Structure 1
Amino acid sequence: MGGIVLRNLLESGYAGKLMAVNSQGMDEVEGVACVRSVGELPEMPDLAIICSPPESVAGIIRKLGANMVKAAMILTGGLSPDSRTGSLREAVKEAARPYGIRILGPECMGLLVPGSKMNASYSHVNISKGKVAYVGQSGLLGTAMIDWASGQEIGFSHFLTLGDGVDVDLPAIIDYLATDPGTHAILLQMDRVIGSARNFVSAIRSASRNKLVLVLKSNIISDDRLSVELAPGVSDEDQVYDAALRRAGAVRVETSDQLFNALETLSRMKPMRGERLAIVCNGMGPNALAHDRLLRKQGKVSDLTDPTREALAPLLPKTWNGRNPVDLGVEATPERFAEVIRLLSKDPNVDAILSIHAPTRMAASVDTADEVIKVARKTPRNVLTCWMGRFSAIEARNHCNSAGIPTFMTPEESVDAFMQMVEYHRNQAAMRQTPAPFHLHNLPNRKRARQMLQDARAERDYLLHSEACDLLDLYEIPTPNTGYADDINGVVDLARRMGGSVAVKALHKDNVYPFCYDSTSHQRWRDLALDLFSINEVRHATTKLGYRIGERYQPDECFGFVVQQMKRGFQSMQMNVGITRDPVFGPLILFGVGGYTIDVLADRNIMLPPLNFALARQLVKRSRIYNIIAENSYQLERDIDHICELLIRLSEMVVDLPELKCLEINPLLLNKRGLLAVDCAVSLAEDARLSISPYPEYLTEQVVLKRSGRQAVLRAIRGEDEPAHLEFFNSLSPESIRLRYFYSRGVPTHAELANWTQIDYDREMAFIVSAPKLSGAGFETLGVVRAVTDADNVRSEFSIVVRDDMQGEGLGVMLMQKTIDYCRARGTLQLDGSTMPTNKGMQGLARKLGFKVSYNMEEDVVDMKMKLNEPTEDWQIYRLQH
Structure 2
Amino acid sequence: MAACFQVIGESLLSTQYLKRFFKPKSIAVFGASEKENSMGGIVLQNLLDGGFEGKLMAVNKRGYDQVYGVTCYKSLSKLPEMPDLAIICSPAGSVAELIRKLGANMVKAAMILTGGLSRASEPLGRSMRDEIMEAAKPYGIRILGPDCMGMLVSAHKMNASYSHLNIRKGKVSYVGQSGLLGTAMIDWANGQEIGFSHFLTLGEGVDVDLPSIIDYYAQDPYTQSILIQLDHLVGSSRDLLSSLRAASRNKLVLVLKSNMVFEDEKVNQPALGIKDEDLIYDAALRRAGVVRVDTVDQLYNALETLTRMKPMRGERLALVCNGMGPNALATDQLLRSGGELSELCEDTVTALREVLPDHWNLKNPIDMHSDATPERFAKVTQLLTKDPNVDAVLVLHAPTRLAPGIDVAEEIIKVARNTPRNILTCWMGRSTAIESRNHFNSAGITTFITPEEAVDAFMHMVEFRRNQAVMKQTPAPFVDQNEQNHLRAKKLIADALAEGRDYLTHNEATDLLDQYDIPVSHTHYADDVEGVVDIATKLGGAVAVKVMHRDNIYPFNYDNKDKPRWKDLALDLFSSADVKQAVTQLTYRVRERFPEDDVQGFCVQQMKRGFQSLQINMGITRDPVFGPLLVFGKGGYSVDVLADRQVMLPPLNLSLARQLISTSHIYSVLRENSEQLERDLEQLSNLLIKLSQMVVELPNLKGLEINPMLINRRGVLAVDVAVSLGEPSVLAISPYPEHLSEHVTLRKSGRKAVLRAIRGEDEPNHLEFYNQLSPESIRLRYFYSRGIPTHQELANWTQIDYDREMAFIVTSPRKDEPGWETLGVVRAVTDADNIRAEFSVVIRDDLQGEGLGIVLMQKAIDYCKARGTLLFMGSTLTSNKGMQGLALKLGFKNHYNMDEDVVEMEMMLNEPTEDWQRYRLQH
TM-score (ref. length: structure 2): 0.93
Q: Superposition pairs for residues 203-352 of structure 1, below 5 Å?
A: 203-222=243-262, 224-225=264-265, 229-352=269-392
| Count of aligned residue pairs for this structure pair | 882
Aligned to 1:638: 679
Pair 1:88 & 2:128 matched: yes
Deviation per residue, 1:54-113 (Å, 9 max, x gap): 222222212212222111111111123599997222122212122221111111111111
CA distance in 1, matches of 2:920, 2:84: 15
What do residues 469-498 of structure 1 show as CA deviations (whole Å, max 9, x unaligned)? 111111111222212222112212222232
Deviation at 1:441, TM superposition (A): 4.5
**Which SS does the other structure have where 1:189 is aligned?**
strand
Task: Output aligned runs, 1:636-785, within 5 Å.
Answer: 636-785=677-826
- Asked if 2 retains the 8 angstrom alpha-carbon contact of 1:109 and 1:139, the reply is yes
Aligned residue identity for 1:32: V
Show CA shifts across 1:832-851 (max 9, x none). 22223322222222222222
Q: Partner of 2:61 in structure 1?
A: 23
Contact 1:55 1:88 in 2 (8 A): yes
Q: CA deviation at 1:444?
A: 4.9
Q: What's the counterpart of residue 41 of structure 2?
A: 3
**Is 1:32 matched up with 2:73?**
no
Q: Which residue of 2 aligns with 1:477?
A: 518
Whether the aligned pair in 2 keeps the contact of 1:82 and 1:222 (CA below 8 Å) is no
Alignment match of 1:58 (pick from 85, 96, 120): 96
Partner deviation per Cα, 1:720-750 (whole Å, 9 max, x = no partner): 1111112212222222222222222222222
Is 1:869 aligned to residue 907 of structure 2? no
The structural deviation recorded for 1:852 is 2.5
C-alpha distance in structure 2 between counterparts of 1:768 and 1:589, whole Å:
30
| Cα distance per residue 1:155-196 (max 9 Å; x no partner) | 101101111111111111111111111111100110111111
Kindly provide the amino acid, as one letter, of the partner of residue 285 in structure 1: G
RCO higher in structure (CA 8 A, sep ≥6): 2
1:44 partnered with 2:85: no
User: Aligned residue for 2:51?
Assistant: 13
Which shows bigger deviation, 53-62 or 82-91?
82-91
Q: Indicate how the Cα distance of structure 1 residues 857 and 381 shifts in structure 2: closer, same or farther if over 3 A, else same.
A: farther
- The letter of the residue matching 2:85 is L
Please give the residue correspondences for 1:281-680 in structure 2 after superposition, counting only pairs within 5 Å.
281-458=321-498, 459-520=500-561, 523-680=564-721
1:76 aligns with 2:117: no
Distance 1:246 1:668 in 2: 26
Name the SS of the counterpart of 1:378 in structure 2: coil
C-alpha deviation, 1:568, in angstroms: 2.4
1:521–1:598: 8 Å Cα contact kept in structure 2? no
Distance 2:850 2:266 in 1: 64
Residue 18 of structure 1 aligns to a residue whose secondary structure is: strand
| Bigger Cα displacement from structure 2, 451-460 vs 292-301 | 451-460
Partner of residue 137, structure 2: 97
CA distance in 2, matches of 1:267, 1:551: 65
Cα deviation, residue 791, structure 1: 2.2
CA contact (8 A) 1:568 1:669 kept: no
Q: Name the amino acid aligned to 1:560.
A: G
CA contact (8 A) 1:521 1:600 kept: no
Residue aligned with 1:736, SS: helix
Q: Secondary structure of 1:629's partner?
A: helix
TM-score by length of 1: 0.97
Runs of 4+ in 1 over 6 A off after TM superposition: 82-86
Deviation at 1:673, TM superposition (A): 2.0
Q: Secondary structure at the match of 1:49?
A: strand
* Separation (CA, whole Å) in 2 of partners of 1:521 and 1:768: 55
2:112 corresponds to which letter in structure 1? I
Distance 1:444 1:652, change over 3 A: farther
| AA partner of residue 791 (structure 1) | A
State the distance in 2 between where 1:287 and 1:636 align. Answer: 35
For 1:4 and 1:287, locate their aligned partners in 2 and report how far apart those are by CA, in whole Å: 48
- The answer to whether the Cα contact below 8 Å between 1:573 and 1:669 also exists between their aligned partners in 2 is yes
State the partner residue of 2:207.
167
Query: 1:442 corresponds to which letter in structure 2?
Result: N
Q: Deviations over 1:128-176 (max 9, x none)?
A: 1110011111111111100000101111011011111111111111111
Distance in 1 between residues matched to 2:152 and 2:896, nearest whole Å? 38
- CA deviations 1:354-411 (Å, max 9, x no partner) are 1111122222211221221122112111111111111111111111111111111111
2:807 alignment partner, SS class = strand
The amino acid across from 1:831 in the alignment is: F
- CA drift of 1:671 comes to 1.6
Query: 1: CA distance between counterparts of 2:917 and 2:375?
Result: 64
Q: Secondary structure at the match of 1:738?
A: helix
- Structure 1 residue ranges without an equivalent (≥5): none
| CA–CA separation in structure 1 for the residues paired with 2:894 and 2:126 | 50
1:125 aligns with 2:125: no
Q: Matched residues in 2 for 1:703 and 1:685: separation?
A: 37
Contact 1:23–1:36 (CA<8 Å) still a contact in 2?
yes
Deviation at 1:227, TM superposition (A): 7.4
Alignment partners' CA distance in 1, 2:681 and 2:439: 52
Aligned residue type for 1:668:
M
Q: 2:263 & 2:90 partners in 1: Cα distance? A: 25
Q: Do the aligned partners of 2:139 and 2:919 also contact (CA within 8 Å) in 1?
A: no
Letter in 2 for 1:372: I
Equivalent pair of 1:527/1:545 in contact (CA under 8 Å):
yes
Please state whether the residue corresponding to 2:534 is helix, strand or coil. helix
Pairwise CA RMSD: 1.7
Q: Where does the alignment leave 5 or more consecutive residues of structure 2 unmatched?
A: 1-38
- In the TM superposition, residue 448 of structure 1 has moved relative to its aligned partner by 2.4
**How far apart are 1:451 and its partner, in Å?**
2.3
Q: Which amino acid aligns with 2:176?
A: G
The aligned residue for residue 196 of structure 2 is 156
Post-superposition offset of 1:809: 1.1
Q: Would you say the 8 A contact 1:505–1:528 is kept in 2?
A: yes
The 8 Å contact of residues 590 and 604 in structure 1, kept in 2 or not, is answered as yes
1: distance between equivalents of 2:57 and 2:912? 33
Identity of aligned residues (%): 69
For 2:672 and 2:377, the matched residues in 1 are separated by 44
CA distance, structure 1, for counterparts of residue 609 and residue 139 of structure 2: 67
Q: Aligned in 2, Cα 1:223/1:487: closer, same or farther, shift over 3 Å? A: closer
In the alignment, the residues of structure 2 paired with residue 175 and residue 518 of structure 1 have an alpha-carbon distance, to the nearest angstrom, of 40
Say if 2:894 is the partner of 1:825. Answer: no
For residues 299-355 of structure 1, what are the alpha-carbon distances to aligned partners after superposition, in whole Å with 9 as ceiling and x for unaligned? 121222222222222221111222122222222222332222222222222211111
Q: Distance in 1 between matches of 2:374 and 2:904?
A: 62
Paired with 2:474 and 2:375, the residues of 1 have a C-alpha distance of: 47
Which segment is superposed worse, 604-613 or 78-87?
A: 78-87
2:227 to 187, 190, 205: 187
Distance change in 2, residues 1:280/1:67 (3 Å): same
Residues 271-296 of structure 1: CA deviation (Å, up to 9, x unaligned) = 11111112222222112211221111
- Secondary structure of the 2:310 match is coil
